[in-house]
Amino acid sequence: MFDAVIVGAGPAGMAAALTLGRVHRTVLLLDAGQGRNAPTGPVHNFLTRERS
């Protein structure tokens, strides 16, 4: 039993899930795809310079 079921873990879905979680609601968050940063999985702690 869930208080809310959210379909899609984009920015709006994540914001809704976090907000409901903070008020102690039981939430099921469904998403079918990999995260956008999935191709960068093997890259950890890579230091670089930001260009402005």
Domain holding 25, by residue range, is 4-34
Q: What is the pLDDT of residue 37?
A: 59
Tally of domains within the chain? 1
Tens-digit pLDDT string for the chain (52 aa):
999 999 988 888 889 999 999 999 999 999 987 666 566 666 666 666 656 5
Residue 29 lies in a domain: yes
In a domain, 49, yes or no: no
Look at residue 13 and tell me if it is in a domain: yes
Looking at residue 36, its pLDDT comes to 62
Q: What is the pLDDT of residue 24?
A: 96
pLDDT of residue 20: 95
Instruction: Specify whether the CB–CB gap between 27 and 6 falls below 8 A.
Output: yes
Asked whether residue 24 is domain-assigned, the answer is yes
- pTM score: 0.62
Residue 45 lies in a domain: no
Residue 9's pLDDT is what?
85
